[in-house]
Chains A and B, each alone.
Chain A
Amino acid sequence: MRLEYFLLVAAALFCIGIYGLVTSRNVIRVLMSIELMLNAVNLNLMAFSNYLDPVGINGQVFAVFVISIAAAEAAVGLAIVLSIYRNRDTIDMEQFNLLKW
């Protein structure tokens, strides 16, 4: 059991999340990719908390904060998606150009 294994898994998950965030065209899938990236960051925090700071466990406290903020982000993100879908009648990321030009 070494710290590096967890960090490598978290790095792989983060890269998968970035790939999905950039390439997917469905809005819901973009939200899911953001959740993947947040989970990767959480895994990093927890691994550091267990291996570098096993008594103080500040990392676990941070992970709890990240989890609560991710929940709020998911709620607001889905509300925005619903609102845009109602106005534009599409779920294609390429057609959301409200703030682009």
Chain B
Amino acid sequence: MTLAQGVQLVTLALLAAMMLGSALAVVLLDNIVYSAFLLGGVFISMAGMYILLNAGFVAAAQVLVYVGAVNVLILFGIMLVNKRQALQPIARAWLGQLVTGGVCAGLFALLTLSVVNTSWDISSDTPVGEGAIAEIGKHFFSDYLLPFELASVLLLIALIGAIVLARREFIPDVSPGEPESDTLQLPERPRELVSTADLRES
């Protein structure tokens, strides 16, 4: 189950570099489609970290839910709201970015200080490893039963809410004389043809 320490360390370094690089690219790149695909890179390297932390089930759930559902959902969102729009420059935008960068760096320094200075009570037990699935199942059906059921209700609410929010308000009515066309036009899309080369946000 346990790899050698050096291999683990190198893997962790690789995954961390991949994850932080992709995350920076997600935030900083101009083209939002590149950002969305690199977000998948962040999620996959996060799943690798979960495997390093002896949690195979959560890694599988991460790949299934994040890469398979959330990332695809974001890509669909980008395709639906694909608007070529020159964002109006706001005055002193660089100042806001500078201040935000400073605040984030300060927060990171603060977190680093507290992480390094705390003496963690590291447990000496061996991790359950492969038995984690059975352990999670026991938790779900004993002491976390109520949150588990509430999560299912929440997912149902989110499903219905998303449908209600994203539904089109009007249905384009067809007069009885004219023939009904086969192609449905989405009012979200701009009327002109969208070229793939020009997807950048501004």
Contacts and interface: CB of A to CB of B under 8 A. Distances in A.
Contacts of B62: 42, 67
Given A15-B104, A23-B96, A72 B155 contact: yes
A71 B69 CA distance: 8
Q: What range describes how many residues of B lie at the interface?
A: 35 or more
A95 to B, nearest CB: 8
Contacts of B105: 15
Most buried by A among B8, B55, B76: B55
B97 A23 contact: yes
Q: How large is the interface on A (under 10, 10 to 19, 20 to 34, 35 or more residues)?
A: 35 or more
Contacts of B46: 39, 42-43
Contacts of A67: 58, 61-62, 65-66
A26 B101 CA distance: 18
Given A16-B27, A83-B165, A92-B87, A60 B58 contact: yes
Interface string A41-58: 011001101111111111
Given A46-B49, A63-B58, A67-B65, 14 more contacts: A6-B12, A8-B115, A9-B20, A16-B104, A22-B100, A29-B27, A36-B23, A39-B42, A46-B55, A54-B128, A58-B139, A70-B70, A80-B165, A81-B81
Interface of A: 1, 3-9, 11-20, 22-29, 31-33, 35-36, 39, 42-43, 46-47, 49-58, 60-61, 63-65, 67-76, 78-83, 85-86, 89-92, 94
B5 A76 contact: no
A82 B122 contact: no
B126 interface: yes
B201 A76 contact: no
A65 B169 CA distance: 33
Given A65-B151, A91-B201, A74 B74 contact: yes
B12 A5 contact: yes
Nearest to A48: B120
Contact of A50 (B100, B127, B154, B157): B127
Contacts of A85: 80-81, 83, 188
A42 B65 CA distance: 13
Nearest to A72: B158
A90 B86 CA distance: 10
A97 to B, nearest CB: 13
B132 A18 contact: no
B42 A36 contact: yes
A79 B166 contact: yes
A17 B23 contact: yes
A64 B108 contact: no
A76 B158 contact: yes
B58 A64 contact: yes
A19 B104 contact: yes
